[in-house]
């Protein structure tokens, strides 16, 4: 018998077409005379779900993004004997290697999320991420312990990759299963918005540190400060998540003993077509996210020659607008459908990416900021729609697994390697425009995948 993983008792199971739930945590639900939760209780529950999903995902991706923003300094600390470009490639190689474990993490977290509950998986993933990130701050430099410094960094990056593989998928499934059918796109947009907010804080801190500290102070201790924030933020996020019940649709399956015993196996045998389509649809998101939002400060400072602090400021401004565009995109996908918005994103990237990188090469700070805002807005058409699209592609029984495996496979192969591939393309081609080719190719693959997918918006969530 599959037991309800929620800490609450006596909650009313509800259908996916009408996902109303009782109060999270140990509080008894405020029921009307009919035995159903009152409207104000439903709204309160959803607000808590949104807050918990936002905060938890924010903490995870702040931790994960700091590494990308401080790549130049990390290169000096852990690869001091390499020339700057080789050292940077080694730093991004560590970034990429940590992604190789993400498909494994997708299988593990997907199994846990579909087998014993979304909340349990999300609570453990944030704890692992925070502890690994905190430990990175404590690693001695290469000058102190030699080769063991980058080896230790690699091991902790692997733990980060493993834990992050369950976060995005789990938070998206959690929100979609709690959301009203006509607003699932808007609710799920909270996940990429929280990701961008984590990146924003990382960019702000990086800009502040590089502006206030000299190169020696940054290498000695300044780079460690953002990593030290991981532990307290992670504990707060885990506490908030533990106060929530699992989603109504999952509780129904658990109470009816309908939860799948081997969700990953069922995913590959019964839902492999949806898995292939979903993996292709993720490709633009995987490449675009890490090139535009994570790698860009390094690209601007190392390849374009923009001042490092100005590079962070430009990315920070772009992230601020990006967060607003994300919610707009979520609403657009609810109104016009997931496919139309996702296909529009692919077409616009194919047409506009190369000219955008040409403009970045002008070196004008104002032009660079405007181009980053444009690229970020284009990415939100994909990023703001993808969470609801992927969650709706799979039935409740394998939703966490389907999302986690497809999302993490594409991110492992193409997302985590994006900064490395971009740096390698520039080095081998001799042109700063090379990363635009990679983005355009990813957009073309996603276009084909989304064109083959069914429209999922406004339809009831499937159990099987």
What's the pTM value of the predicted model, to 2 decimals? 0.77
Residue for token pair 């493993």:
162
Nearest to 176 by CA among 400, 409, 464, 3: 400
Residue for token pair 């852990």:
78
Nearest to 320 by CA among 372, 355, 360: 372
How far is 307 from 427, CA to CA, in rounded Å? 21
Three-state DSSP class for residue 394: coil
Residue for token pair 């000299």:
214
How far is 9 from 263, CA to CA, in rounded Å? 25
**Neighbouring residues of 155: CB distance < 8 A, sequence distance ≥ 6:** none
Residue for token pair 């090139």:
291
CA angle 56, 372, 451 (to 5 degrees): 75
- Burial, 138: exposed, middle or buried (Cβ in 10 Å; 0-12, 13-18, 19+)? exposed
* Cα of 67 vs its chain's centroid, Å: 15
How far is 364 from 306, CA to CA, in rounded Å? 9
How far is 122 from 155, CA to CA, in rounded Å? 22
Contact 111, 263 (CB under 8 A): yes
The tens-digit pLDDT sequence of the chain (464 residues) is: 344 444 333 333 333 344 433 333 444 344 444 445 667 777 777 888 888 888 878 877 787 677 777 877 887 888 877 666 677 777 777 767 777 888 888 889 888 888 888 888 888 888 888 888 899 999 998 888 888 988 898 888 888 888 888 888 888 988 998 888 889 999 999 999 998 888 788 878 887 888 888 888 888 899 899 888 878 888 887 887 777 777 778 877 777 665 556 777 888 888 889 999 999 999 999 999 888 877 888 888 888 888 877 887 888 888 889 888 999 999 999 999 999 999 999 999 999 999 999 999 888 899 999 999 999 999 999 999 999 999 999 988 889 899 999 998 888 888 878 888 888 898 898 888 999 999 999 999 999 999 999 998 878 887 66
Neighbouring C-beta atoms of residue 327, cutoff 10 Å: 17
CA torsion sign for 454, 458, 459, 464 is positive
340 CB-side CA count, 13 A: 10
**Which strand (E) or helix (H) includes residue 455?**
none
Q: What is the pLDDT, as a whole number, of residue 23? A: 36
Contact 326, 384 (CB under 8 A): yes
How far is 317 from 311, CA to CA, in rounded Å? 10
Residue for token pair 């692919």:
346
Neighbouring C-beta atoms of residue 354, cutoff 10 Å: 14
Tokens matching residue 410: 């594409």
Could you give all domains of the chain from N- to C-terminal order, each with its CATH number? 40-452 (1.20.1250.20)
């Amino acid at each position: 018998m599959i037991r309800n993983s929620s800490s609450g008792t006596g909650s009313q199971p509800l259908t996916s077409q009408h996902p109303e739930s009782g109060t999270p945590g140990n509080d008894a639900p405020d029921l009307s005379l009919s035995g159903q939760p009152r409207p104000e209780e439903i709204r309160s529950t959803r607000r808590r779900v949104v807050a918990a999903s936002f905060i938890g995902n924010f903490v995870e991706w702040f931790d994960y993004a700091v590494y990308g923003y401080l790549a130049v300094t990390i290169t000096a600390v852990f690869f001091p004997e390499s020339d700057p470009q080789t050292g940077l490639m080694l730093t991004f190689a560590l970034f990429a290697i940590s992604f190789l474990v993400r498909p494994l993490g997708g299988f593990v977290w997907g199994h846990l999320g579909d087998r014993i509950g979304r909340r349990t998986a999300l609570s453990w993933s944030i704890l692992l991420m925070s502890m690994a990130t905190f430990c990175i701050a404590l690693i001695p430099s290469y000058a102190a312990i030699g080769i063991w410094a980058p080896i230790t960094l690699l091991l902790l990056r692997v733990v980060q990759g493993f834990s992050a593989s369950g976060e995005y998928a789990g938070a998206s499934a959690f929100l979609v299963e709690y959301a009203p059918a006509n607003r699932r796109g808007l609710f799920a947009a909270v996940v990429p918005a929280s990701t961008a907010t984590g990146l924003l804080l990382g960019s702000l801190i990086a800009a502040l540190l590089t502006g206030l500290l000299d190169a020696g102070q940054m290498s000695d201790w300044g780079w460690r400060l953002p990593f030290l924030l991981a532990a307290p933020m992670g504990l707060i996020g885990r506490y908030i998540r533990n106060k929530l019940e699992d989603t109504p649709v999952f509780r129904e399956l658990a109470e009816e003993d309908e939860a799948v015993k081997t969700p990953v196996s069922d995913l590959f045998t019964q839902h492999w077509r949806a898995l292939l389509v979903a993996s292709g649809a993720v490709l633009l998101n995987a490449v675009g996210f890490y090139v535009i939002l994570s790698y860009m400060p390094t690209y601007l400072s190392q390849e374009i020659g923009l001042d490092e602090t100005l590079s962070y400021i430009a990315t920070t401004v772009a992230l601020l607008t990006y967060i607003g565009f994300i919610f707009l995109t979520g609403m657009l996908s609810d109104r016009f459908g997931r496919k139309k918005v996702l296909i529009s994103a692919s077409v616009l990237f194919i047409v506009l990416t190369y000219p955008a990188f040409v403009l970045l090469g002008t070196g004008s700070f104002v032009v660079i900021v405007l181009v980053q805002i444009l690229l970020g807005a284009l990415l939100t058409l994909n990023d703001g729609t993808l969470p609801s699209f992927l969650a709706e592609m799979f039935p409740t029984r394998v939703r966490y697994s389907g999302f986690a495996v497809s999302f993490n496979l594409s991110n492992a192969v193409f997302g985590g390697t994006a900064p490395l591939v971009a740096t390698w393309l520039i080095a081998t081609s001799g042109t700063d425009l090379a990363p635009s080719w990679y983005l355009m190719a990813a957009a073309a693959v996603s276009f084909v995948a989304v064109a083959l997918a069914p429209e999922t918006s406004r339809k009831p969530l499937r159990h099987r």
